[in-house]
Copies of this chain bind each other. A is one copy, B any other.
């Protein structure tokens, strides 16, 4: 049996939540580039070396932060249209949270020329939603990936161009457009 007993030595202090919060806060205030690991560590009240003991790079830290910030997709709709609408609104709310869009753009930029980071991004962040949505919406995986591209891409492009989240009426239009694709 694999022993589930704790390994010897000083245990890791449970500061992941503080680090994630400090990361989003710093990225929100300064942007991805100027959100240095030094500043994030200071904002979290820990040493920079502690961060590098847990995440191999700034990009991996921010990706983990995004995974934590998005969390599981709450789906309790009565039909596919309701679930789709809930998923879009979920994405819109998350991307509107301070720092999330900036973190996303930064990770995309870093992921170019860093296949490992892109792999993490695709596997850790996108795949869970792809799986759930494939099941709930009853669509092919290709179709679900297309939907994710449309939803997240549209919301991020609006944030990148204007610096403001998409207004609710446009989110409604996005939902309607995709719901028509279900029929």
Which residues on A are within 8 Å of B, measured CB to CB? 30-34, 101-102, 105-106, 108-115, 118, 121-122, 126, 142, 146, 148-150, 152-158, 160-163, 166, 170, 173-174, 177-178, 180-181
Contact = CB atoms under 8 A, between A and B. Distances in A.
A163 B112 CA distance: 7
A112 B161 contact: no
Contacts of A101: 112
A33 to B, nearest CB: 6
Nearest to A27: B112
8 contacts: A31-B112, A32-B109, A102-B112, A126-B161, A146-B174, A149-B161, A150-B174, A177-B178
B157 A112 contact: no
A113 B180 contact: no
Copies per complex of this chain: 2
A140 B156 CA distance: 21
A30 B113 contact: yes
Nearest to A59: B33
B108 A105 contact: yes
Nearest to A181: B177
A157 B149 contact: yes
Nearest to A180: B180
Identify the 9 closest CB pairs spanning chains A and B, nearest first.
A153-B157, A31-B113, A153-B153, A108-B160, A31-B112, A153-B154, A105-B108, A109-B109, A102-B112
A144 B8 CA distance: 61
Nearest to A114: B31
A167 B64 CA distance: 29
A157 B108 CA distance: 9
